[in-house]
A and B are shown apart, each in its own frame.
Chain A
Amino acid sequence: MKALRAALDHPPEVPEIATVSPLAGLARRGLKPVDALAQSVAAVAPTAGVATMPALVASAAGPGAAVAVCLAVVLVALISSVLSQFAKRLAVAGSLYSYTAQTGRAFPAFLTGAGLLTGYAFIAMFAVTGAGIYAMHLLNRLAPSFSTPAWAVAGSVVLIGALCFGVLTRGIRVSARATLALECGSVLLVMVLLVMVLIRFGGPSWPALDPSTATAGQIAVGTVIALMAFVGFESSTVLGAETRKPLRSIPRALLSTVLITGLLYLLATYAQLAGIEHLGRDLGSSPEPLAVIADIDGSRGMLLALEAAIALSFLACALASVTALARVVFTMGREGVLPAWLGATHPRFHTPHRAIQASLPLIVVVPLALLGGGITAWGVMTIVITCAAAGFVAAYILMCASLPLFLKRIGEVTVTAVLPAVATALLLTITLVVYLAASAHGHRGIGVAVFLALSALACLWYLGICHAHSGSAPRIGLYDEPTRQDLLHPAGER
């Protein structure tokens, strides 16, 4: 221990370490690990997934539904393990964009950034619209005599947007705690509901679970649809600068999110297969199976609990998605990729308030425009979630493909890190192609078209930025570097 003692007595000078983080201005290291977990779980909106995903998977995979959901859980666990390789090495606010940028290659980082911005923005639109729809459902159920006007959903979208704005600019602690409370309430309600279904009907019979009559194609499409119910799980990575011990907390939050949402989805699929079988129906052709099962004896209590759980989940998802979106925008503002004023932080609340102010109006206006254009509320939901899911999967692919290059750059290549990354990138590329091909028609088709248009726009944006920086790409990849106070201090000093 000679060298350690000498270092403690006379700490070496480390001129490379700055006194402030490049992300200074955010509330550094203020959040607990549980807040990071809540951010990831909330962005997944698992209650909405519980209510809709099993039926969607069953309609695509038929008898292979249960297997498809299991395969999706395995795939998400793989993505999470690759992501952890980045998350345990650097703390960021720009999520996968900032990780991919560490390879030193600007174009793939830009595409990742574009995919993430698309993902978070559109999932936020999905959440505010969903919260609006379910707020109206609840209102109708509590006061059946009150007839809601046609603009009611649009009005509640505006109200919910304003509410999010208020909470999000008041400091990350406030918004993280609000997210945690909403999500806990929602998940507990839906868990109770699922357990009640299982107690009442028991498990499904073997034929309902037996995948042997399903084709490989059916199972593949089912797996892809089930995977889309997990997007957002990566979003705790945006809290890298703001969480305590981020290099440990964030990888744990990612793993825990996969466990919690994976178990919830498996339980949901199992319970709904049982309930629908009991009713003598087919899960794939039941649009709202959980509502049908909850309503089975005509008691409004369970239905009310379900709708409240979904509304809470959408609200938490709106908060979490805008939190993530604003931090990616903030990072790009700091780098000069987006206008510099977007990289400002609030002097008192330490939030990226300009990025929140710039993004929230867009989140509210786009669904309003679509609703105003005569598309039904559920149509709007389908369009935005299709586009968001494609954006996320594109970002996941680029992140996985970047890991080997990043490890090579820092000289830490190992077979156990590189192989899963390459395999996951390949699996996800197949996933994206299957998803886009299976979503060519109707409202999903519009979502795919929007995604493709935005991808083209991202390429133009990249060329524009390179042009503005006279041919060379701007310096990207800002992250929360260690500061002097994180370094070894002389013995006796803290």
Chain B
Amino acid sequence: MVPEDFDNIDLRARQPKAVQRAFAVLEEVARCGPGVTGQQVAANLGMPKATAYRLLNLLVQDEYLIRMPDLAGFALGNKVTLLAQLAQQTANPGTTEATRPGPS
């Protein structure tokens, strides 16, 4: 289940900058909170607008972000939870679904 979710990321190895930028966009959405718009993300990160919109759309397509009902704002999606869990599992290989600490 998990590998299937992660092999679809549309970022190529020849674009290492794109990976950094995608994480910067994700972090910026987390920092600004739900409802931040594409224009705000682009301005805050000093990124060309077209690049910011493209990254935001890619992150939305892979469900790391969701669009708010007005379609203009963004918020963090459930896939980020999955990403965090995967990172946690990689860090502690012994941890399983049952033994992992619950929400704190």
Q: What's the minimum C-beta distance from A396 to chain B, rounded to whole angstroms? A: 21
Residue B11 is within 8 A (CB to CB) of chain A in the complex: no
**Chain A: minimal CB distance from B98 (Å):** 11
Are B61 and A17 neighbours in the complex by a CB distance under 8 Å?
no
Chain A residues positioned under 8 Å from B49 (CB to CB) = 414
B55 at the interface (CB under 8 A from A): no
Contacts of A11 in B (CB 8 A): 76
CB distance from B85 to the nearest CB of A (A): 7
B50 contacts partner chain A, Cβ-Cβ < 8 Å: yes
A89 to B30, CA, bound (A): 20
Q: A17-B75, A411-B72 are in contact. Are A247 and B84 (CB under 8 A)?
A: no
Question: Contact flags (1/0) for B86-104 with A, using CB distance below 8 Å?
Answer: 0010000000000011111
A490 touching B57 in the complex, CB below 8 Å, given contacts A102-B71, A411-B37? no
B31 in contact (CB, < 8 A): yes
B78 touches A486 (CB 8 A): yes
Cα–Cα distance between A248 and B65 once the two chains are bound (Å)? 13
Is the pair B103, A485 in contact by a Cβ cutoff of 8 Å?
Answer: no
Stretch of A1-9, A52-60, A372-380 with 4 or more beta carbons under 8 angstroms from chain B:
A1-9
Per-residue CB contact flags for chain A residues 80-121 toward chain B (1 = under 8 Å, else 0) read: 000000001110000000000010000000000000000000
Which of B28, B34, B57, B101 has the most chain A CB within a 10 Å cutoff? B34
CB distance from A87 to the nearest CB of B (A): 10
Range for the number of chain A residues in contact with chain B:
35 or more
User: Contact: A14 with B34, CB < 8 Å?
Assistant: yes
Report the minimum CB–CB distance from B1 to chain A (whole Å).
Answer: 11
Contacts of B39 in A (CB 8 A): 411-412
A137 is an interface residue with CB less than 8 A from chain B:
no
Contacts of A487 in B (CB 8 A): 66, 75-78
Chain B residues positioned under 8 Å from A4 (CB to CB):
26-27, 30, 76, 80
* B1-39 interface (Cβ within 8 A of A): 8, 23, 26-28, 30-31, 33-35, 37-39
Q: How far is the CA of A247 from the CA of B67 in the complex (A)?
A: 11
- Is the pair B31, A89 in contact by a Cβ cutoff of 8 Å? no
Residues of A within 8 A of B28 (CB): 3
Instruction: Give the chain A neighbours of B88 by CB distance below 8 A.
Output: 491
Given known contacts A14-B75, A17-B75, A486-B77, A88 and B61 CB-to-CB distance under 8 angstroms: yes
CB-based contact B71/A488 at 8 Å: no
Residues of A within 8 A of B61 (CB): 88, 245, 247-248, 251
Contact check, B75 vs A89: say whether CB atoms are below 8 A apart: no
Within B43-87, the residues touching A (CB, 8 Å) are 49-50, 53, 57, 60-63, 66-72, 75-78, 80-82, 84-85
Q: What is the bound-complex CA distance between A7 and B27, given in angstroms? A: 10
Nearest chain A residue, comparing its CB with the CB of B39: A411
Residues of B near A90 (CB, < 8 A) are 67, 71
Min C-beta distance of A482 to chain B, whole Å: 4
Within 8 Å of chain B (Cβ to Cβ): is A16?
Answer: yes
Among the listed A16, A247, A488, A492, which residue makes an inter-chain contact with B80, where contact means beta carbons less than 8 Å apart?
A488
Please report the C-alpha to C-alpha distance between residue A117 and residue B81 in the assembled complex, in whole angstroms. Answer: 41
Residue A409 at the B interface, CB < 8 A?
yes
Q: Please give the distance in Å from A249's CB to the nearest CB on chain B.
A: 9
CA A409 – CA B72 in complex, angstroms? 8
Q: In the bound complex, how far is the Cα of B82 from the Cα of A2, in angstroms?
A: 17
Q: Are A16 and B53 in contact (CB under 8 A)?
A: no
Given A12-B33, A247-B61, answer yes or no on A416-B50 (Cβ-Cβ < 8 Å).
yes
B104 proximity list for chain A (CB < 8 A)? 9, 490-492
- Complex contact B30–A3 (CB within 8 A): yes
The residue of chain A having its C-beta at the shortest distance from the C-beta of B57 within the complex is A88
Q: A490-B103, A491-B85 are in contact. Are A8 and B72 (CB under 8 A)?
A: no
Distance of A494 Cα from B31 Cα, bound (Å) = 22
Distance in angstroms between the alpha carbons of A9 and B84 in the assembled complex = 11
**B26 CB contacts on chain A under 8 angstroms:** 4
State whether A245 and B63 are in contact (beta carbons under 8 Å apart), knowing that A89-B71, A481-B69 are contacts in the complex: yes
Tell whether, in the assembled complex, residue A488 and residue B63 are in contact, meaning their CB atoms are under 8 Å apart.
no
Let me know if A245 and B78 touch, CB within 8 A: no
Most chain A beta carbons < 10 A, residue from B57, B63, B71: B71
Closest residue on chain B to residue A251 by CB atoms: B61
User: Would you call A493 an interface residue if the criterion is a C-beta within 8 Å of the partner chain's C-beta atoms?
Assistant: yes
- A 471-494 to B, binary, CB cutoff 8 A, 1 in contact else 0: 000000000011001111111111
Residue of B with least CB distance to A7? B30
CB-nearest residue of chain B relative to A482?
A: B66
A interface residues (Cβ-Cβ under 8 A, vs B): 1-4, 6-9, 11-12, 14, 16-18, 88-90, 102, 245, 247-248, 251, 409-412, 414, 416, 481-482, 485-494
| Pairs A-B, 5 closest by C-beta atoms | A490-B103, A3-B31, A3-B30, A488-B76, A482-B66
What are 29 A-to-B residue pairs whose CB atoms are below 8 Å?
A1-B27, A4-B76, A4-B80, A7-B76, A7-B80, A12-B34, A14-B34, A14-B68, A16-B35, A18-B69, A89-B60, A248-B61, A251-B61, A409-B72, A410-B72, A411-B37, A412-B53, A412-B72, A414-B53, A487-B66, A487-B78, A488-B76, A488-B78, A490-B104, A492-B100, A492-B102, A492-B104, A493-B103, A494-B85
